[in-house]
């Protein structure tokens, strides 16, 4: 019996080899290489100079760099803007499309489209919309007597402009998850509330929202991880500018690596942000578990 | 004054009519049970009274006021649902508080009502628990408490016991009876279980296919079923039915059923037409099994139930079930018994229409 079990295991291993090779080549090797780089001085502009070991110098530079902290704060600012708007809009639209009204099933499908478009295309779409003189957005705002707003050319508006693009793209994600969760709620408590005469707001606030909370927390969490890595749409719209107004972590890393050719510093910044996000994830799960334990009590 | 009145109430879903103009009046303080097989429109009727379904035609009055277009919350009713409909994330106390919230009562009034309901239904130790931490019977008691604290004019119950196991069902049934006795509030109660209906109701409303077949006290619907449907639906084991013809012997009508010749019940003699096809109904408990019996029958199977025995009999072409006290059980090896019928206890139905002949 153990003989066949052993053989089964060996066969399984054989089947796993291709996957392991691919995984190694595409994720583990680059990561290890980046880790190695982060301790070296590697200037892409002078590729033939040996990559000497510099200890923690790259990390020290990142952690004491104003630009890095500026990027970190910008990332969190953008995250706060997009996540709060996506939460409110996503839940609101989900409540709307969950009504038993004609056309809602179609609306639900159409509303998913932004999510399926590649972020680069989303960036381009918004680039056209934001065009100072020719863009539709300023045209329509002009009709109601507002603007023109220098969407992506002013340090004041650029981050908001990016947030709007991201909100447009990812609100459907929250909507979809929320609508699915709404469907799984049992209808009888709502009928009970109707008979008892609880107001719509009270029913939402005290019946629906608490039951949606676990789902909303998970959806926001997934969005937060994505928002921490936001890159494409910013690259298309502002390239981190004007000045450093929209330089988030990933653009900071890009700039260090491919504008200043300082690969070591870029790699170190990557690992610092990886550590930050890992810490956040851990804290988040601890909190979730505590919440669940409290609920079970 | 009647508490709930339905006049020609109709419910249609699109083209399909599922409740066909029913008339019903529920007196103040009465416990009325809607009883009928699955799909007969009991729930639909109850939900129209609650205001959860629109009324397609007809009129609904609660406490003397037409409420067809009145929102559920303004009908002074409370409903207890089959699957409890408790708010899963709220404690027992919060469930009751939330139900009271729209009434905007003073805090001490709220806690007084909750304390009272909790005491009556024995929920005091459970007030801080959530529904998931309660047994089915406890959940149903919470659902009742939540309905009770609102002090409605009418309680509506939709199969409140059907998710409970048999033993618990009996217990909670008694709780409901006690609660009604204590509060004296009007109750409209839906079930497909005749035992629930017989034990709880002041008045039973028997429904079939969106029509009301009979309205009456438990005694009435049992003793005087108006038609074959009611006759067979009420009573367990079910009434025995025998096809028969009305014959006239010496000027008196006699019911002839393939080997049996039975005197007609005196009260209906004048209503019987000679030669008519009728259906005889005999309750299992109305079959006498003793030496004095007129007919011979063979016991094919006897089912011992503790206090009584069900005898599955064959008499000529007829298969009959008789219910006798366990003490009167024929000896097990006794294959053949004598049976007799009491004319006054025969039910006679017109075979064509199914209506009882009175
Ligand atoms: N929303 C609906 N749309 C169409 N038909 C419906 C709807 N709800 C109920 N019906 C139909 O109305 C009839 C009565 O249903 P109802 O739920 O009132 O039956 P019931 O007597 O409560 O049965 P049960 O004992 O199974 O609960 C059924 O034939 C059912 O198919
Ligand atoms: Mg029903």
pLDDT of B348 higher than 90: yes
Indicate the CATH number for domain A67-296: 1.10.3720.10
| Rounded Cα distance, B114 and B125, in Å | 13
pLDDT of B23 higher than 90: yes
Cα B211 to averaged position of ligand 1 atoms, centre (Å): 13
* Residue B51 to residue A193, Cβ atoms within 8 A: no
CB pairs under 8 A between A and B: 63
Cα B18 to averaged position of ligand 1 atoms, centre (Å): 7
CA angle A143, A144, A149 (to 5 degrees): 85
* Residue B146 to residue A197, Cβ atoms within 8 A: no
**Range with the lowest mean pLDDT among A189-193, B229-233, B268-272?**
B268-272
In which element (H, E) is residue A129 found?
helix A119-130
- Of B35, B146, B160, nearest in space to B92 by CA: B146
| φ and ψ of B315, to 5 deg | -130, 105
Residues of chain A contacting B49 with CB distance shorter than 8 Å: none
This model of the complex carries an ipTM of 0.83
Each residue's pLDDT tens digit, A199-240: 999 999 999 999 998 899 889 888 988 888 888 888 888 887
Which residues touch B194 (CB under 8 Å, ≥6 apart)? B35, B233, B234, B235, B236
| Rounded Cα distance, B233 and B250, in Å | 36
DSSP assignment string, B249-289: ETTEEEEEETTEEEEPPGGGGGGPPTT-EEEEEE-GGGEEE
End-to-end CA gap in chain B: 31
Three-state SS at A237? helix
Q: Give pLDDT, residue A128.
A: 79
| CB B180 within 8 Å of CB B187 | yes
pLDDT of B352 higher than 70: yes
Closest CA in chain B for residue A200:
B102
Copy the structure tokens of residue B302.
Answer: 């006897």
Banded pLDDT at A262 (limits 50, 70, 90): confident
| Rounded Cα distance, B120 and B115, in Å | 9
Q: Give pLDDT, residue B198.
A: 94
- Residues framing ligand 1 (Cβ under 6 A): B 13, 18, 36, 38-44, 192
Is B240-350 the same fold as B4-230? no
**Range with the lowest mean pLDDT among A77-81, A114-118, A196-200?**
A114-118
Closest CA in chain B for residue A185:
B88
Per-domain residue ranges for chain B? 4-230, 240-350
CATH 2.60.40.420 fits B4-230, yes or no: no
Each residue's pLDDT tens digit, A237-252: 888 778 888 888 888 8
Q: How many residues can be counted in chain B? A: 358
By the CB criterion, residues less than 5 angstroms from ion ligand 2 are B 43
| Rounded Cα distance, B106 and B164, in Å | 36
Looking at every residue in chain A, the average pLDDT score rounds to: 85
Which residues touch B61 (CB under 8 Å, ≥6 apart)? B2, B4, B5, B7, B67
Q: Give pLDDT, residue A245.
A: 80
Q: ω into residue A205 within 30 of 0, thus cis?
A: no
Chain-centre distance for alpha carbon A90 = 15
* Residue B83 to residue A186, Cβ atoms within 8 A: yes
| Rounded Cα distance, A217 and A200, in Å | 23
pLDDT of A106 higher than 90: no
* Residue A192 to residue B85, Cβ atoms within 8 A: yes
Distances (CA, A) of B94 to B117, B144, B181, B313: 13, 14, 27, 58
Banded pLDDT at A176 (limits 50, 70, 90): very high
Mutate: best of A186, A189, A207, A215, partner B, most B CBs <10 A: A189
Indicate the CATH number for domain B240-350: 2.40.50.140
Per-domain residue ranges for chain A? 67-296
| CB B254 within 8 Å of CB B266 | no
> Which neighbouring-strand residues pair with B13?
B16
Q: Give pLDDT, residue A294.
A: 64
DSSP assignment string, B246-259: EEEETTEEEEEETT
Which atom of ligand 1 is nearest to B34's Cα?
A: 21
Q: Which of B72, B87, B100 sits opposite A195 (nearest CB)?
A: B72
Distance from CA of A186 to the nearest CA of B (A): 8
Cα B39 to averaged position of ligand 1 atoms, centre (Å): 5
Which residues touch B306 (CB under 8 Å, ≥6 apart)? B326
Biggest alpha carbon distance in chain B? 81
Each residue's pLDDT tens digit, B207-260: 999 999 999 999 999 999 999 999 999 998 999 999 999 998 888 888 988 888
Each residue's pLDDT tens digit, B78-108: 999 988 999 999 999 999 999 999 988 889 9
Q: How many residues can be counted in chain A? A: 297
Q: At which residue do the structure tokens 């199969």 appear?
A: B159
Distance from CA of B285 to the nearest CA of A (A): 42
Banded pLDDT at B163 (limits 50, 70, 90): confident
Helices and strands in chain A, H and E counts = 15, 2
Q: How many CB atoms lie within 10 A of CB B334?
A: 11
Biggest alpha carbon distance in chain A? 82
């Amino acid at each position: 019996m153990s003989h066949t079990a052993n053989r089964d295991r060996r066969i399984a291993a054989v089947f796993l080899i291709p996957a392991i090779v691919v995984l190694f080549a595409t994720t583990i090797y680059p990561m290890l290489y980046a880790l190695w780089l982060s301790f070296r001085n590697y200037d892409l502009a002078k590729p033939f100079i040996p990559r000497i070991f510099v200890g923690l110098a790259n990390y020290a530079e990142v952690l004491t760099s104003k630009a890095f902290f500026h990027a970190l704060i910008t990332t969190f600012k953008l995250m706060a803007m997009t996540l709060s708007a996506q939460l409110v809009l996503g839940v609101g639209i989900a409540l709307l499309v969950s009504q038993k009204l004609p056309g809602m099933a179609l609306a639900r499908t159409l509303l998913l489209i932004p999510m399926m478009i590649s972020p680069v295309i989303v960036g381009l779409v918004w680039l056209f919309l934001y065009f100072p003189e020719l863009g539709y957005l300023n045209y329509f705002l002009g009709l109601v007597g507002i603007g023109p707003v220098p969407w992506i050319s002013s340090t004041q508006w650029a981050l908001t402009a990016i947030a709007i693009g991201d909100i447009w793209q990812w609100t459907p994600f929250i909507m979809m998850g929320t609508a699915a969760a709404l469907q799984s709620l049992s209808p009888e408590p709502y009928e009970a509330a109707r008979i008892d005469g609880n107001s719509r707001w009270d029913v939402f606030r005290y019946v629906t929202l608490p039951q949606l909370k676990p789902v909303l927390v998970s959806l926001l969490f997934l969005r937060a991880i994505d928002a921490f890595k936001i890159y494409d749409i910013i690259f298309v719209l502002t390239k981190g500018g004007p000045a450093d107004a929209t330089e988030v972590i990933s653009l900071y890393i890009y700039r260090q690596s491919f504008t200043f050719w300082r690969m070591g510093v870029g790699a170190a910044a990557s690992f610092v942000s990886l550590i930050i996000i890992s810490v956040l994830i851990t804290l988040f799960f601890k909190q979730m578990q505590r919440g669940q334990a409290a609920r079970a009590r | 004054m009647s508490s709930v009145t339905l006049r020609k109430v109709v419910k249609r879903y699109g083209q399909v009519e599922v409740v066909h103009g029913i008339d019903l009046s529920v007196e103040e303080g009465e416990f009325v049970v809607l009883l009928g097989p699955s799909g007969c429109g009991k729930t639909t009727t109850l939900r129209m009274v609650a205001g959860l379904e629109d009324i397609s035609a007809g009129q609904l009055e609660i406490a003397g006021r037409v409420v067809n277009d009145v929102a559920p919350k303004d009908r002074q009713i409370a409903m207890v649902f089959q699957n409890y409909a408790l708010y899963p994330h709220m404690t027992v106390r919060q469930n009751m508080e939330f139900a009271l919230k729209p009434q905007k009562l003073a805090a001490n009034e709220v806690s007084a009502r909750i304390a009272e309901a909790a005491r009556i239904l024995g929920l005091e130790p459970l007030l801080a628990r959530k529904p998931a931490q309660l047994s089915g019977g406890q959940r149903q008691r919470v659902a009742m408490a939540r309905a009770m604290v609102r002090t409605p004019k009418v309680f509506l119950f939709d199969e409140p016991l059907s998710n409970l196991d048999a033993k618990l069902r009996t217990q909670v049934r008694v709780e409901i009876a006690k609660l009604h006795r204590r509060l004296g509030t009007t109750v409209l109660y839906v079930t497909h279980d005749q035992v629930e209906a017989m034990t709880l109701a002041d008045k039973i409303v028997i429904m079939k296919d969106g029509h009301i077949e009979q309205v009456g006290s438990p005694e009435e619907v049992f003793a005087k079923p108006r038609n074959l449907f009611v006759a067979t639906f009420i009573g367990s084991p079910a009434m025995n039915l025998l096809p028969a013809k009305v014959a006239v012997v010496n000027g008196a009508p006699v019911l002839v059923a393939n080997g049996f010749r039975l005197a007609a019940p005196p009260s209906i003699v004048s209503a019987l037409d000679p030669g008519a096809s009728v259906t005889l109904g005999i309750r299992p408990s109305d079959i006498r099994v003793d030496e004095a019996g007129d007919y011979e029958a063979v016991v094919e199977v006897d089912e011992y139930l503790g206090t009584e025995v069900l005898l599955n009999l064959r008499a000529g072409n007829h298969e009959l079930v008789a219910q006798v006290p366990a003490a009167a059980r024929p000896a097990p090896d006794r294959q053949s018994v004598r049976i007799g019928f009491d004319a006054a206890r025969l039910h006679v139905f017109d075979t064509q229409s199914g209506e009882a002949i009175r």
